[in-house]
Amino acid sequence: MLGVLALAVLTVAAADRLFGHSTLAFAAAIIMLIIANAPMLRFNCPACGKNLFFRGPVVVPWPNRICTRCGHDCAAPAPSQNR
């Protein structure tokens, strides 16, 4: 995610330097960041569905191991489905 953020900033800076101020460069940067963020939005607690990257209203770059809503240990291995 930090690499994509750096790439987005460099894209806007390069477009600004080469072509002048362009809203297309900002649009491209926003689209790159949305695409890079999509997998992070699917990383939810299996018990309650809360996103593990959110700490209240703040988003951090590492997920919780224990869900803050239900207390489920998300780092524990899933039980085997073999019977």
Domain for residue 81, yes or no?
no
- What pLDDT, in 10s, does the model give residues 41-78? 888 888 898 988 888 888 888 888 888 889 889 888 87
Q: pLDDT class for 30, splitting at 50, 70, 90?
A: very high
Domain for residue 27, yes or no?
yes
Residue 44: φ, ψ to 5°: -115, 160
Q: Would you state the pLDDT for residue 31?
A: 95
Question: What is the per-residue DSSP string for 15-59?
Answer: HHHHH-S-HHHHHHHHHHHHHHHHHHHT-B-TTT--BTTEETTEE
The pair of structure tokens assigned to 56 is 């209240």
Q: Which of 39, 36, 43, 49 is CA-nearest to residue 5? A: 36
Q: Both 33 and 7 in a single domain?
A: yes
Per the structure, the complete domain to which residue 22 belongs is given by 2-42
